[in-house]
Structure 1
Amino acid sequence: MSQHDEKISKDLFEPASLDSSKSEEINKPSLNYWQDAWLRVRKNKAAIVSIVVLFFLTILSLVGPYLNDYDYSQQNAKHSNLPPKVEAFENISWLPFDGTLTKKNGEVYDAYELKGADDAYYWFGTDSLGRDIFTRVWKGTQVSLYIALLAAVIDMIIGVAYGAISGYFGGRVDTIMQRIIEILVGIPNLVVVILMIIILEPGILSITIALTITGWVGMARVVRGQVLKYKNQEFVLASRTLGAGHAKIITKHLMPNLVGVIIINTMFTIPSAIFFEAFLSFIGLGLKAPLASLGTLIDDGFKSLVLYPYQMIFPAIVISTIMICFNMIADGLRDALDPKMRD
């Protein structure tokens, strides 16, 4: 029988039987805003790796100063400018942890044997005063992470509150508050720090006050712009019609819509604050000795970069890693929380 003679059964043309009870069933679980954002962050491998690395560096900054027998301020002039030496790697010549240095003529010598420190192990080497760089690097990392936390807290409290009040009330209140911001923007941070040092002294307190005075201005402007966009929308007008007070409208209705923008801007502010502290320490306006920050360690290492490059390399690697991690996390959060960036 040819294909043309075959008959198609009428049963094939009967409508399929559908279960109307399952027509509106949702198989995919419903996700709230933060669950959806977390799924988007997880797709960003750079952000996830940065979170893990930053967590690891935070743990090291807390326990690192106690992993060996040396204090960050302990000086030993006999052990000055010793190269890195790690007990497990000292016999591996191609690793830079065998305690050897190279002279200008290319001759390699054991610096520990030369200074009678055969039994000592300095994992990152020592500085010109014989202080353990490993301990000082993680002590300095504590300062950088403190600056990061401080910048986040200042943005979250002062910047958000100031910007929300300015944008919500508008009119004369907004005009006066924005003129104050323009005055603060016109004063460079470096001038504020120098004034704080004149009044107080170089140290973490003067840096903290300088960040408190000017560090929140950018966040305040961003929040004000967002509040101006939302305050005349229907959900705010409805809440006002029902008798809600100003504080409730700002905290219960406006703030939840600003959380994404606030988090994103805070994450971008943190690297700038860390760099600001490192810059101040590098030019001599940071912490006073024997306290250490990554900026002061880089400054000390820069002075002997040609002879002992390891003194600058290790703190430079740590601060670069911290700033890259915060930037990668900020990029991931921006893609996840900003509706305009959604695919």
Structure 2
Amino acid sequence: MERKIPKELFGQAIIDSSKSEEINKPSLNFWQDAWLRVRKNKGAIVSLIIAALVIIMAFVGPVISGKEFDTQKVSHNNLPPRIQGLENISWLPFDGVKVNKAGKEFSPYEQRKVEEYYWFGTDALGRDIFTRVWKGTQISLLIALLAALIDMVIGVIYGAVSGYFGGRIDNIMQRITEILIGIPYLIVVILMILLLKPGIASIVIAMTITGWVGMSRVVRAQVLKLKEQEYVLASRTLGNSHLKIIGKHLLPNLAGVIIINTMFTIPSAIFNEAFLSFIGLGLQDPLASLGTLIDEGFKVLRLHPYQMIIPAIVISTIMITFNLLADGLRDALDPKMRD
């Protein structure tokens, strides 16, 4: 049976000309658009959540454990991890059970009549590893934050001034950076240790001397490109000062590049600190960082593997999450990566 279509449907379409120029999609600024792009990157969002949890635990962990990171209790030394509620699940490594040389399982907690729970176990001096891991994460994140601030202050200012003024000033400033690049970072740290002593101060001073060079070169390259743009020439024609042009017109347009490079600086600084601590040039007892904990655990890896595996998992998680987050920010903030 054929269906008849009413003639009224074939009339001329009514178009409201007043709405022909109407924009239904809301306008977004640069940061809103960047956030929408970050949200599409599942890896970046998951990394952001994990990084936030690690940062929270770095400050909350030592408090909820109820133990001090430097308190020694030799009678409780080298106890395996044991967590309330999980100690009866044999396939989880939190039951407080170890294996002796004969291959038989035994509980050091029962042998020594220890009623306390050590969630990540204890080290050779009976110190709680759970508290030391998160206290060490605090210090590692502190060093990474200082490295990021040094990059953003010294590196950005140095690169912006060098690229903006150019000429003889640029030549002199770039020769200085080439000299600093030629000095190995490890040599600078050793010199600082000879002058001071192993610790946070020597690492931070070494980063202050050489750590900002990479950021300055990136910023200089971007400023050399942007300073010839029309809006910069217009601002210069209107009589604005050099400081105002750099601060108001150039640096805001470099925000994406600065944020991306800063995010890549954080895992690099954490790795450098861990490496220095691992070879004995970093923090000293009783202070702890992830590098010192890995160094201590490596010495007893075959007997007590948890003492190295746990801090190694934490530092690996931090480095992977910050790298994935930096990749996501690069895709969102770098115009060349836009689809």
Task: Tell me, yes or no, whether TM beats 0.5.
Answer: yes
1:190 and 2:158 matched: no
| Percentage of pairs with the same residue | 70
State the Cα deviation string for residues 188-221 of structure 1 (Å, max 9, x = none). Answer: 1110100000000000110111111111100000
Counterpart for residue 255 of structure 1 = 251
The separation in 1 between residues aligned to 2:307 and 2:48, in whole angstroms, is: 27
1:319 and 2:315 matched: yes
Normalised by the length of structure 1, the TM-score is 0.95
The separation in 1 between residues aligned to 2:296 and 2:311, in whole angstroms, is: 10
TM superposition shift of 1:78: 1.0
The separation in 2 between residues aligned to 1:192 and 1:2, in whole angstroms, is: 89
TM superposition shift of 1:104: 2.7
The separation in 1 between residues aligned to 2:255 and 2:37, in whole angstroms, is: 16
Counterpart for residue 83 of structure 2 = 86
The separation in 2 between residues aligned to 1:2 and 1:109, in whole angstroms, is: 85
The separation in 1 between residues aligned to 2:263 and 2:211, in whole angstroms, is: 13
State the AA in 2 paired with 1:306.
R
TM superposition shift of 1:8: 11
Among 100, 111, 118, which residue is 2:97 paired with? 100
TM superposition shift of 1:69: 2.9
State the AA in 2 paired with 1:58.
I
Among 281, 290, 294, which residue is 1:285 paired with? 281
TM superposition shift of 1:15: 3.8
Counterpart for residue 169 of structure 1 = 165
The separation in 2 between residues aligned to 1:303 and 1:116, in whole angstroms, is: 27
TM superposition shift of 1:70: 1.8
* 3-state SS, counterpart of residue 81 of structure 2: coil
The separation in 1 between residues aligned to 2:329 and 2:71, in whole angstroms, is: 42
TM superposition shift of 1:11: 7.6
Counterpart for residue 106 of structure 2 = 109
TM superposition shift of 1:68: 2.3
The separation in 1 between residues aligned to 2:234 and 2:30, in whole angstroms, is: 23
Q: Which runs of 4+ in 1 moved over 4 A?
A: 6-11
1:55 and 2:58 matched: no
The separation in 2 between residues aligned to 1:202 and 1:70, in whole angstroms, is: 26
The separation in 1 between residues aligned to 2:248 and 2:101, in whole angstroms, is: 68
Counterpart for residue 223 of structure 1 = 219
1:246 and 2:242 matched: yes
1:302 and 2:273 matched: no
Normalised by the length of structure 2, the TM-score is 0.97
The separation in 2 between residues aligned to 1:56 and 1:149, in whole angstroms, is: 17
The separation in 1 between residues aligned to 2:5 and 2:332, in whole angstroms, is: 57
Counterpart for residue 25 of structure 2 = 28
State the AA in 2 paired with 1:259.
A
State the AA in 2 paired with 1:50.
S
The separation in 2 between residues aligned to 1:261 and 1:10, in whole angstroms, is: 59
Counterpart for residue 124 of structure 1 = 120
Aligned positions of 1:67-86 closer than 5 A:
67-86=64-83
TM superposition shift of 1:9: 5.9
The separation in 1 between residues aligned to 2:256 and 2:75, in whole angstroms, is: 54
The separation in 1 between residues aligned to 2:302 and 2:279, in whole angstroms, is: 20
Counterpart for residue 16 of structure 1 = 13
1:141 and 2:137 matched: yes
Cα root mean square deviation, aligned? 1.8
The separation in 2 between residues aligned to 1:277 and 1:166, in whole angstroms, is: 30
* 3-state SS, counterpart of residue 106 of structure 2: strand
* 3-state SS, counterpart of residue 67 of structure 1: helix
1:209 and 2:179 matched: no
Moved more, 274-283 or 139-148: 139-148
Counterpart for residue 200 of structure 1 = 196
The separation in 1 between residues aligned to 2:154 and 2:268, in whole angstroms, is: 17
Kindly tell me the number of residue pairs found equivalent between the two proteins.
339
Q: Which runs of 5+ in 1 are unaligned?
A: none
TM superposition shift of 1:115: 2.4
- 1:139 and 1:2, CA in 2 relative to 1: closer, same or farther beyond 3 A? closer
1:336 and 2:332 matched: yes
TM superposition shift of 1:113: 1.7
1:159 and 2:155 matched: yes
TM superposition shift of 1:10: 10
Among 229, 234, 239, which residue is 1:233 paired with? 229
* 3-state SS, counterpart of residue 86 of structure 1: coil
The separation in 2 between residues aligned to 1:11 and 1:169, in whole angstroms, is: 69
- 1:113 and 1:8, CA in 2 relative to 1: closer, same or farther beyond 3 A? closer
The separation in 1 between residues aligned to 2:112 and 2:209, in whole angstroms, is: 49
